Each structure stands twice: as C-alpha cells, then as structure tokens.
Amino acid sequence: MTPPPSARTTGLDRLRVPRVAVWGTGVEGREAAEAALERGAQVVFVDDRSTDASELPVGGVEIPVLAPSALAEGSFDCIVRSPGVSVYREELRKARASGAEVTSVTAMWLEDFSGSRVVAVTGTKGKTTTAWLAAIVLEACGLRVRLGGNMGTPLTALYREEPGDVYVVEVSSFQAADVQVSPPVGVLTLLAPDHLDWHGSYDRYVRDKLNLFDHRADVTLAVSSASPDAVASTARYERRILYGSEGRVVVEDSAVTVDGEPVLDLTRTALGLRGAHNLVNLCGAISACLLETGGIPKADALAEALGHMPVLPNRLETVASARGVEYVNDALASNPAGTVAALRTFAGRRICLILGGQDRGVDLAPLLEELHRTRPVPSIVYLPDLGDRLCREISASGSSVECRPAPSVDEAARIASGILGEEGVVLFSPAAPTPIVEGTYVQRGAAFNRAVAELVSSGS
C-alpha cells in the first residue's frame, strides 16, 4: 500500500517500496531501475513496444519488460516515467487513481539536491547552449561546477560525482511537468509552440515549463526579453530579471553589459558561437551567474573562459567546407523557432535548407515568414512529414522558394550540394523532431555528417 503524501519519502528514497515500474528503457530508465534494485524493490520495465515476453539485464538482474497495459493492475507502489512518456497518458492517470505514486528522475534529483546551489535552465530553444555557457561563466568565478540533465548527462550520474559548489542542469518541458521542488535559480530562454502532442496545448506546454519554478517562493529567475511569451508568462515572479534585448544583461555596441557597464568586448573575444540568438544565450548565462553569486567574473577571466568554449555538436556546427560550400549541422533544431534562428545566422548567403521530421502540428507561419523575407531566396530539400506540410503551404502561398523532396538525410545532403554548386551553405536544420525510426537527433546529425564526408571525399 502506498503511504499518504504526508508520509512519503523524497528523492531516490521514493524507490524504497515493494514494487517499482520504470516506464522507459533508455540510459535514464536503466539507472532508475538500478537505483530501485539497490533499495530492495522488485522492478519491472514498461515499454510501448513490449510484447510482455522480453527482459533487460540491469545490475546482474533480468528485469521483465511489460506493455503499458500492465499498469492497470494497480499493483505498483511507484512508477518512474522517462521524459518521453507524457504525464497525461491515460495509463498513468489510472495508476495514480489506484494509489501509485508517479515521479521522474528529474523530480527525485531536485528533491535530493534541494539544499544545494542549483541553476536550472529551460526554454523552447537555447537551453543547452545557455546551460553550457552558464557552467563556463560560473567556473570562471572559481567554482566547481557540475553540469547535467537534458543535454545528455543523466542527473543520476551526478550522484556518483564529487560534490560541486554549484549544479547547472538543463530541464525540458517533459522533465519539468511533474517536479515538486524548484531550484533556487532559474533561466527561461524563450517560449514558442513545441511538443504540443505531448502536452495537449500551448497553454499547458507553458504551464508545464513554468512548473519548474512554481514550488519555491524565493526563486530568482532570469528571462529572455527577446521572447514576448516568456516575458508575459513570468510577470508574476517577484524576483525576476530580464536579459537579452533589454534588462540587466544586454548586448549593446559590440559588448555585453551588466547594469550598463561593459563586461565583455565582443570584438576582442573569440567566441565559439554563431548568430545573434547565441549572444542572447550568453546574456542568459551571465544573468544566471549574477543571480547565483551576486556578481560576475572579472572581464579577463570571462573572456579567456569563453574563448576556449568548443563548438557544440549538432548546433550550427560546420562539419566541412569544400569548393565554396559550407556544410552546417544544426540537427538539434527540432522546431521552427530554431530553424528561423539558423536562417538568420547565414543572412546574405545562398542557403539550401534541409528540413523535415516528425510533424507535431506546430504552427509553421513564423518559418514561412522568415523564408519569404530571406535574401537571396533559399532553396529547400525536404524530408517527410513536416517537410511535406511546409512545402504544401509554400506552394499555396505562391512563394518563389524552391522545394525538392528527399527520402533520407544522406540523399538530401547530396541534392542540396548539387543545388548550390560552388557557393553557399547547406544547412541541415530540421524544424522538427527526429522520427522514431531514425533514433535521436544525435544519430540523425551523425547521418548528415557521414553523408557530407562522402560528398567531400568524392569531390561531388
């Protein structure tokens, strides 16, 4: 029998119950299962693809993999959902009604580290870059920083590391939706429609995002002033500062300024960042440091630290340049807002844009508007399914943007290279999530990189 909420434990000790179901068999799910086994629980995996006839080894134990329908039995004390599993799934609703506790690794980690210095970064786009930059800026202050979360390092890994002075974590809307403890410091990069199939509506998407900050009265929050929706939806937070186009930390006259004082000369700092949107992300990172420490690093330490930041893979990453054509991997651009930012980064150059992927019904109007005003007029090589819809809308608008279909990422790279010839940018910026059959954005980005390497080596 699950204890009442007032008697429940917190953090990973939520798993100290007789029966635990872990919905999801990825890295995070396996680590959650191992944590439950260590606490004496009987564990099963739940997976949408399961036929109830398979097992997965974890910690020397073969764990059964069951279909989601198994949750209807009502025999589990705790269910740990992976981020991709919507909190609104009917199976979870029924499990809660039968007395099961539903939680996530992110929720448990925030509970266990509630007494630590934590900076949590979320937003529709820019959160990974902002989190990386925040870690660099805080390290320039002499702090030991631990970085993890949605960017690929599971929060469970932070339990095994030496304690840090401060933790910087990237949190997706999937992860934020059911947390019950908020970090002391937060950053909201921007808000735009995304993951509507998971959340059900844009209003609920925004509400689920902001749930990350709603469980602590003294949370301090840095919000991008470049995002009207982010500014409007966070007006109720009393300890909020703005950054970006206006606020305490802004870019003006080729410098980053804090409260009107220049702290970083952008003309003399070799940043591994491209595009105006990433300068806004830099302002967000400096804002996080300001809120966390009450100050920022000295100018020379800040410039040196940022000058050593590597280009992040799959984020406006130039993977090759050959015969006048630059090949750019922006596979992480999983919604139109990211692709709009990518197009603006290469303004004034010939662009052949490769896009497409899982169509979640997101409004394409902002991307269409950007394509219509981009000069020179770009070309598009599109992949199903979102690419099909976008090109139908382009055709209906009477636009002069050329659209050509491709069955795969590697074929799209070949077609795009042929369109440009010897001048321009082949930009892989999908504006949509990676289809399940293609794996993750990392795998999709790797496919683009391999295709480009073959094109360059063959002289095509």
pLDDT in tens, 218-244: 999 999 999 999 999 999 999 999 999
Instruction: Name the helix (H) or strand (E) containing 176.
Output: helix 173-176
Which two three-digit tokens encode residue 186?
Answer: 């937060």
Please state whether beta strands 54-58 and 61-66 pair in parallel, antiparallel, or not at all (unpaired).
antiparallel
CA proximity to 244, closest of 195, 279, 208? 279
- Assign domain 317-458 one CATH number from 3.20.20.70, 3.30.1440.10, 3.90.190.20, 3.30.450.90: 3.90.190.20
Instruction: Name the helix (H) or strand (E) containing 54.
Output: strand 54-58
The residues near 270 (Cβ < 8 Å, ≥ 6 apart) are 307
**How is the chain split into domains, by residue range?**
14-103, 107-307, 317-458
Residue 73 confidence (pLDDT) above 90: no
Please tell me the chain's helix, strand, coil percentages from 3-state DSSP, rounded to the nearest 5.
40, 20, 40
- Residue 286 confidence (pLDDT): 98
Is the fold of 14-103 the same as that of 107-307?
no
Confidence band for 8, pLDDT divided at 50, 70 and 90: low
Domain 14-103 fold is Rossmann fold (3.40.50)
User: Under CATH, domain 107-307 is a member of which superfamily?
Assistant: Mur-like, catalytic domain (3.40.1190.10)
User: What are 332-361's pLDDT values in tens digits?
Assistant: 999 999 999 999 999 999 999 999 999 988
Distance of CA 149 to the CA centre of its chain: 9
Distance CA 202, CA 193 (A): 6
Only one residue has tokens 């439950």, namely 36
| Overall pTM surpassing 0.85 (yes/no) | yes
